[in-house]
Amino acid sequence: MPAPTKMISTRWDQADGHTLNGYLRTGGYEALRKALAMNPDAVVDEVKAANLAGRGGAGFPCGTKWSFLPKDIFPRYLVVNGDESEPGTYKDRLLMERDPHQLIEGVLIASWAIKAEQAFIYIRGEMPHAHERVAAALNEAYAAGYIGKNICGTDWSMDVVLHWGAGAYIVGEETALIESLEGNRGMPRLKPPFFPASKGLYMQPTVVNNVETLANLPWIISNGAAAFTSFGNEKNTGTRLFAVSGHVKNPGVFEVEFGTTTFRELFYDFCGGIREDRTVKAFIPGGGSAPWFFEEDLDTQLDAGVVGGKGSMLGSGAIVVMDDTTDMVKAAWRLVKFFAKESCGKCSPCREGTNWMEKIYRRILDGEGRPEDVALLLDVADNISPGLTWPPKQTTICPLGPSAAAGALVSSIRRFPVEYDHYIVHGRPIDGVSTGIYRPSLAPAS
Amino acid sequence: MTDTATTAPETPKKTTLTVTIDGVAMEANPGELLIAAAERTGTYIPRFCWHPRMKEVGMCRMCLVEVSGPRGMSLQPACMQPCAEGMVVDTKSAMVKKAQDGVLEFLLVNHPLDCPVCDKGGECPLQDQTLTFGPGESRFVEEKRHNEKPIPISDLVLLDRERCILCDRCTRFSKEVAGDPLIHFINRGNTTEVNTFPDDPFASYFSGNVVQICPVGALTASPYRFAARPWDLDQVESTCTSCAVGCRVVVQSSGDEITRLQGVDSDPVNWGWLCDKGRFDFEAVSSPSRLSAPLVRAARGAAPEKVSWSAAMTRIATALRTYQPSEIGFIGGARLTNEDQYAYVRLAKQVLRTDNVDAQLADGLTPDAWLGFPKATINDLATAGAIVLLGPDIKEELPVLFLRLRDAAVTKKVPVVEFAAAPTGVSPYAAESVRYRPGEVALAVKAVMAAAAGSSAERQIGGVEADSINAAGAILAKAIVSGKKVVVLLGRASMAEPDRAFVEAALAVSAASSDVVVLPAMRRANLHGALDMGMAPGLLPGRVTHGEGGAWFAAHWGAGPSNPGLDTAAMLEAAAAGTIKALVLLGADPVADFVDRDLAERGLMGAELVVAIDTLPNASNTHAHVMLPAAGFGEKSGTTTNLEGRVTVLSSKVSAPGTARPDWMIATELASMLGTDFGYETVGDITDDIAATVPTHAGATRAELRRPANADGIVVPVPTEASTPSADAADPSVEENAEPRPPSVAAPKPLRVRAVDGVVPQPDSYSLRLITGRVLYDQGSIVQASSSLAKLARPASVRLHSGEIERHAMHPGDVIRVVSQTGELALTIEVDDHLPRGVAFVPWNLADRGANTLINVGELAADGITKVRLESGRS
């Protein structure tokens, strides 16, 4: 059994890990001092050498993202995406609640590297505890001179603004987050032309980084890129946090070496196996948006490229396990309902299409399905995401609607057509699957 | 992620790009959006959210087309895609067809399809595009979203949220164009809806535009709701005559009644927008109170009796024959067509030989100030180095000009320096608002110009703090050295101050640079035309004085008056004194509109014969011995001239009520009865006579105005190289009929602005200085005859700083007496802490008796200001 590899979750079990004292006692802010002694470009090079992939979902190399900033345009901003809302994801929450100074140190290192003098931390509205902890840590860091004027005695000054979101999944999308931060409705902007690197926050060059991505920076600066790349495999360096939920005995967030561990090891070794020692019927490998994996995929490595090659994504590291009693129609409905509810309302296909699909599902689950409904679901989905391929093509600005269409819906229909047919013919699920606690007809209309 | 930006090949500097649309190569301009370029070259890409006058949002996804990119062809919204060199576009592929089908099906999922009872049915982009691009039927069998059927979001506009497809047009318009962000998206996802904040209605002067640009029937305006079906409408393009901006409109009618006005996108003027007054005051056309037959009174105060036209005209002609030229006066005419005005000027100056003609009611500026400065166009606002506001609140008086000014200030970042004694609608967009003390505008402007020239102010001047003077001076200094134009919007900021103060101020700005140009902020629709046609004492048609143009017109008309006549104030004084015997009111209401109500009433009482030629009865008509019904807007054709000097076509669409007829016919017939045959058989004859006779209007012929290239009108004077119409467009018969121009007489020189001497007011400390300005919805006869607008006029009030209210031991809401040396008004106190202390603001025409009750022309001339006192209790 592979041992956990702790790089960024070292203070989670430390009672005072979230305080400045607890952080300093365990080597906190040493990496910042080291970075401030380096040329900013050297910091960028170090992060590039570490091949640190973004941990928010898309997996774009962090150093490369930074180097997209146009050379001479100032001010430029760092925006921290702490709007962690993907169904199944709760790793950034722990990073913010249990080790906020590590994040802040990462923010400072990144800001130094990209020559930003203002950073914004955007925290999801449903995470008041994370908000409190980060706010307290920021106050401590300001008081101790790690943020503000002449940081650590240098000529460099910068400020960090904390913003508490209002609870919209879409704001996890970087351009919608920027809109929200500017005080507008959280609705995505079209890329191009609004790539944050050139036209971001307040139309200035902006880097948007995920919490976990930034939390890796102190380790990389302290220990060097070479040490970082010794973990994981060639393309997946360092560690990753995986949030496992669903039908496992011991759900939680686990830090494992990136790219080498398999799903089977994660479920059976780290999570203690499937509840009641049942079998895996399906699992979501990378958050509610991702197409599903099944039993035969258990030995796949937690490697972004490999998972992507098999038609899904590792995404934000949110894994949801469904055992053999799970109603696959209802599971797909629950995810489609999430996207219908979280659609921002900007693009017609997503706004109307996700809602339409959800209503068809509800009708099927209520025993009112028609034989043509499965084909209809697929065609409505196809009008949101032409071709229903992965990664999804889109008739919309952002991938929210297309994920609802080409993710859970397609996976469950293609793999479990029998369960749909059974609902349509008999008005109830096939034998042996749980009817669960949801009665769709009682669910409030969205 | 930057790959899209870097793949465009580096090409040598080219002014156009080549884009291939559906296999056909075409030229596009750099930065031009694909959807616009395609439409320009004949390929219509369907759309709902995109509007050429607003920022693109890419929301509806209807304009998805396949566009070549680094990873091959992909679906992209054409409204967000700038054209790039070598771009290949497919607007008709199977993938595009499926996407468009899909988007339309999605838009219809929650759309009620109540087309049979929807006002938009028949002219609905959703309906039309579904027919052209959409699926034949919907597969949606679920329950649709339900909302309360139309909810009022303002006094004029209703919103049916079920029909809304959330295109963001109305919300963008209100925020981006009008600057009234009162409607928003609320909720999200499938429950997203447009709405107002609670208790904060969409009270915008521009609310009707959202109805016009709504691509479905979600927004409807109360005057048109269920009034007609689009296929029953007949329409003609015309010009709005509610104010002097001259917005292009389409006048639509059904069953010989005007049902709706829609804005036309005229690039130099209104960009498709209209104000609500202009859009909805057509209701006055079919008002039951319209004058529809000639009326005479046997004696003053007697009940009017209907008579035949011949009886009425004979009475007028007979009486006029008995008077000396100096005993006859003409007042008004600023809302008539150029042709009406020219005919009246010929009647007065050629036939009756009186120069007592004045289109203004002492509420404007002298003609030389309106016409004598180098002129600006509306488009100059957008490219100016600075805009100087030296006139009324243009949001209240010239609303669409306000939209263009706002665009210049907000989008083009042109700094606006506002000289205004009280806050205006422009104040939020002004780089500097110079708040002068009423009566001291010239001092303030001179101080700012001195600061612009390098001598900073060190103390308060004209009531303005030194900081404000120097800030305004710095903006103007920068604009002057930039070499760009400085556009002055010049007008009468307050009727409680004499006009010469504003002229003096404008002269001070004009003296600073030859790049200073003036856009007259004149309110009445065709005041420019009236002055061009010579409707002012001392003027002849073509912006010339008697001295300059006398010989020219003598050659055309025979000898006319040689001495300048009386202006309106002098005519009323003379009538009161008995030296003017006959007053002809041309759509004028001196009792309500002349600055000094008392003098207006005395003048009308003093005249032996008062003739009122008008469309609606008004306060002055009660003094009239003869009333002639005139055809109004939408009932007569001709031309009108906007504040830029742009001559555009007015079209008739419906019949005038009863026997009402166009003014030019009345003038022509009176002239004929008095022995002069003008030879006019149609209004077009006059248009061509003006083009042939009036030097400034050479080239503005019927034939030229009809050319599609001149759809936006012709700005006069026409530059000489363009003044000769092209051979193919010219109608030879028109040339033959035109009066030959006498070659022996040189064209007269145009008008110049005369210098004026101002007065610095020295009021006693017990008095407040009065400011009075117009508001869009007032007690004017047209607004009051438009049922939808009449109720929007607010109750009359006096606006005061709270400190002033306290000093008088009064309270907001109290009804108090505002007393001047000539009269008093009972008004409710309203707090306005944006006003300085020491002033009282009374809207011009809101009470039954307007602010002109308080103004005395003698006091204006002597003191340069109107002083008022506040007294408790009703009189």
User: Pick from A168, A351, A376: which is nearest to B190 by CB?
Assistant: A351
Residue A211 is encoded by which pair of tokens?
């919490």
Q: Quick one: pLDDT at residue B726?
A: 42
CA distances from B693 to B543, B552, B557 (A): 13, 9, 10
Contacts of residue A55, Cβ cutoff 8 Å, sequence gap at least 6? A210, A211, A212, A213, A216, A240, A241, A316, A317
B287 interface with A at CB cutoff 8 Å: no
Asked if residues B392 and B365 have their Cβ atoms less than 8 Å apart, the reply is: no
Asked if residues A244 and A271 have their Cβ atoms less than 8 Å apart, the reply is: yes
Q: Quick one: pLDDT at residue B559?
A: 76
Q: Quick one: pLDDT at residue B701?
A: 94
CA distances from B433 to B381, B390, B473, B475, B494 (A): 18, 11, 12, 12, 16
Q: What is the ipTM of this complex?
A: 0.92
Contacts of residue A145, Cβ cutoff 8 Å, sequence gap at least 6? A151, A152, A153
Question: Which residues in chain A are contacts of B1 at CB distance < 8 A?
Answer: 60, 65, 68, 191, 195, 197
Residue A14 reports pLDDT greater than 90: yes
The answer to whether the Cα torsion of B846, B847, B852, B855 is positive or negative is: negative
Q: Quick one: pLDDT at residue B231?
A: 93
- The secondary structure of residue B303, as a DSSP letter, is P
> Which of A65, A73, A352 should we substitute to test contact with B (largest number of B Cβ atoms within 10 Å)?
A352
Q: How many CB atoms within 10 Å of residue B616?
A: 21
pTM of the model: 0.92
B79 → chain A, closest CA residue: A190
Q: Between A408 and B849, whose confidence is greater?
A: A408
Q: How many CB atoms within 10 Å of residue A362?
A: 19
Question: Which residues in chain A are contacts of B185 at CB distance < 8 A?
Answer: 185, 345
How high does pLDDT run on average in chain A?
A: 94
Asked if residues B826 and B837 have their Cβ atoms less than 8 Å apart, the reply is: no
A192 → chain B, closest CA residue: B4
Mind listing the pLDDT tens digit for each residue in A178-189?
A: 999 999 999 999
Q: What are phi and psi of B76, to 5 degrees?
A: -135, 145
Give the angle B727-B732-B733 at the CA atoms, nearest 5°: 160
CA distance A348 to B189: 10
Q: Quick one: pLDDT at residue B743?
A: 45
Residue A216 reports pLDDT greater than 70: yes
The answer to whether the Cα torsion of A226, A230, A235, A239 is positive or negative is: negative
Q: Quick one: pLDDT at residue B560?
A: 76
Residues of chain B with pLDDT under 50: 1-12, 722-743
Contact A386 B95 (CB under 8 A): yes
- The secondary structure of residue A238, as a DSSP letter, is S
Residue A445 reports pLDDT greater than 60: no
Q: What is the dihedral of CA B270, B273, B278, B279, to 10 degrees?
A: 150
CA distance B60 to A302: 38
Asked if residues B352 and B328 have their Cβ atoms less than 8 Å apart, the reply is: yes
Q: What are phi and psi of B831, to 5 degrees?
A: -80, 135
DSSP B684-741: HHHHHHHHHH-GGGTT--HHHHHSGGGTT-EESSPPGGGSSPPTTTS-HHHHHHSPPP
What is the amino acid identity at position B638? G
Q: Quick one: pLDDT at residue B551?
A: 87
Residue B816 is encoded by which pair of tokens?
């108090």
Q: Is B186 helix (H, G, I), strand (E, B) or coil?
A: strand
Q: Quick one: pLDDT at residue B746?
A: 66
Nearest to A100 by CA among A201, A207, A14: A14
Residue A436 reports pLDDT greater than 90: no
Residue B689 is encoded by which pair of tokens?
């006579």
- The secondary structure of residue B409, as a DSSP letter, is H
CA distance B167 to B165: 6
Give strand pairing partners of A255: A241
Q: How far is A394 from chain B (nearest CA, A)?
A: 8
User: Pick from B103, B140, B165: which is nearest to A356 by CB?
Assistant: B140
> HSE (CB half, 13 Å, CA atoms) of B432?
21
User: Pick from A60, A351, A397: which is nearest to B192 by CB?
Assistant: A351
Question: Which residues in chain B are contacts of A400 at CB distance < 8 A?
Answer: none
User: Pick from B75, B110, B140: which is nearest to A395 by CB?
Assistant: B75
Q: How many CB atoms within 10 Å of residue A223?
A: 14
Question: Which residues in chain A are contacts of B60 at CB distance < 8 A?
Answer: 347-348
Q: Where are the beta strands (DSSP E) in A178-303?
A: 206-210, 239-246, 252-257, 280-284, 293-294
Mind listing the pLDDT tens digit for each residue in A252-263?
A: 999 999 999 999
Residue A446 reports pLDDT greater than 80: no
Q: How far is B230 from chain A (nearest CA, A)?
A: 27
User: Pick from B5, B62, B64: which is nearest to A192 by CB?
Assistant: B5
Question: Which residues in chain A are contacts of B111 at CB distance < 8 A?
Answer: none
A69 → chain B, closest CA residue: B2
Asked if residues A419 and A434 have their Cβ atoms less than 8 Å apart, the reply is: no
Give the angle B815-B818-B824 at the CA atoms, nearest 5°: 110
Q: Quick one: pLDDT at residue A194?
A: 87
